[in-house]
């Protein structure tokens, strides 16, 4: 008798908005040989288009509407309970817009990834494209990092750069950065599912070795 194939890592995606990163992950996960399976999509906004994308892909969904909770602690406790029902090995923040409490982040330490639209450590938080423009940066980009208590401060796994043109505005820059996100995020999720990346004490381990500088997607 043939041995059962090893179960694939279970991926849960959290989104808040249009879900283009979710879509990129759905598409990648359907390629032959992808080493993980998306088991559910959670969202904090009832009307988000990400939910339609998930339904279209026949994925289970759940909504925890943050406006219905008095505190972040209560919201996170409910979110955590919903997540645990799906027994994920990896939780992927894909345009998820709620800051998570320390308790939540600690409960899933080493299993939480985020895609952030800047070259961290530059521009943590919101409004990153306008801030890069205002600073006169010639390059901008995207980072994928492990989520820790420190907002957008967890160890960076990989980055991709875009060049800023003199006629770029926040919208055109966001478009360029998002195109990179859709390539970079599935690559990093694949690495995670293959067991190649881990969160060490205070850095990323890649194939067991500390990563001294983030991995880079070649600039075209
Ligand atoms: N939570 C922790 N603890 N650590 C991180 O690194 C996190 C996190 C939650 C989300 C994504 C992040 C980003 O990529 C992320 C990283 C939302 C805000 C924010 O200010 C900031 C950073 C990120 C996501 N959110 C507002 C809030 O009050 C709400 C804004 C809105 O709804 O539009 O939570 O940039
Ligand atoms: C992405 O550009 C992501 O980097 C950014 O929001 C967009 C979500 O797009 N995330 C944040 O700004 C987190 N604060 P999507 O919903 O189409 O994937």
Residue 6, pLDDT score = 78
Residue 172, pLDDT score = 98
Are residues 164 and 133 in contact, defined by beta-carbon separation less than 8 angstroms? yes
* pLDDT tens-digit readout, 50-82: 999 999 999 999 999 999 999 999 999 999 999
Residue 219, pLDDT score = 67
- For the chain, the average pLDDT equals 97
- Pick the catalytic residue from 66, 87, 116, 140: 116
Q: Domain residue spans in the chain?
A: 10-217
Residue 4, pLDDT score = 76
C-alpha dist (Å) from residue 208 to 50, 167, 200, 203, 216: 34, 43, 9, 11, 18
**End-to-end CA distance of the chain, in Å?**
47
Nearest-atom index, ligand 2, CA of 49: 16
Interatomic CA distance for residues 17 and 176, integer angstroms: 18
Nearest to 37 by CA among 97, 90, 99: 90
Residue 22, pLDDT score = 99
Peptide bond into 216 cis (omega under 30): no
Nearest-atom index, ligand 1, CA of 149: 3
* pLDDT tens-digit readout, 148-173: 999 999 999 999 999 999 999 999 99
Find the 124 Cα to ligand 1 centroid distance in Å. Answer: 9
Peptide bond into 142 cis (omega under 30): no
Residue 150, pLDDT score = 96
Residue 100, pLDDT score = 98
Strand partners, 160: 142, 217
Residue 220, pLDDT score = 57
Nearest to 153 by CA among 112, 205, 208, 196: 112
Taking domain 10-217, whether its CATH number is 3.40.50.170 is answered by yes
Residue 57, pLDDT score = 98
Tokens of 103: 């308790």
Quick check: is 116 catalytic?
Answer: yes
In the block, tokens 């800047």 appear at: 118
Give residue ranges with CB within 6 A of ligand 2. Answer: 15, 17-21, 50, 94-95, 97, 115-117, 126, 178, 181
Count CB-CB contacts under 10 A for residue 206. Answer: 18
Residue 5, pLDDT score = 74
pLDDT under 70: residue ranges of the chain? 2, 219-220
Are residues 117 and 96 in contact, defined by beta-carbon separation less than 8 angstroms? no
Interatomic CA distance for residues 72 and 57, integer angstroms: 30
């Amino acid at each position: 008798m043939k041995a059962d194939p090893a179960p694939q890592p279970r991926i849960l995606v959290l989104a808040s908005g249009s879900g283009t990163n979710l879509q990129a992950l759905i598409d990648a996960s359907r390629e032959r040989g992808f080493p993980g399976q998306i088991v559910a999509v959670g969202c904090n906004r009832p009307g988000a288009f990400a939910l339609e994308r998930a339904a279209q892909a026949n994925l289970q969904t759940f909504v925890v509407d943050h406006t219905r909770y008095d505190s972040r602690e209560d919201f996170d406790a409910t979110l955590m309970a919903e997540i645990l029902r799906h027994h994920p090995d990896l939780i992927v923040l894909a345009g998820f817009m709620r800051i998570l409490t320390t308790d939540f982040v600690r409960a899933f330490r080493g299993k939480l990834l985020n895609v952030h639209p800047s070259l961290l450590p530059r521009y943590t938080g919101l409004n990153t494209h306008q801030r890069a423009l205002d600073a006169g940066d010639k390059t901008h980009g995207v980072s994928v990092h492990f989520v820790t208590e420190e907002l957008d401060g967890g160890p960076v796994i990989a980055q991709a750069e875009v060049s800023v043109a003199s006629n770029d505005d926040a919208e055109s820059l966001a478009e360029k950065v998002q195109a990179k996100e859709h390539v970079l995020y599935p690559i990093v999720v694949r690495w995670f599912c293959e067991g190649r990346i881990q969160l060490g004490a205070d850095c990323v381990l890649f194939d067991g070795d500390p990563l001294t500088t983030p991995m880079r997607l070649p600039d075209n």
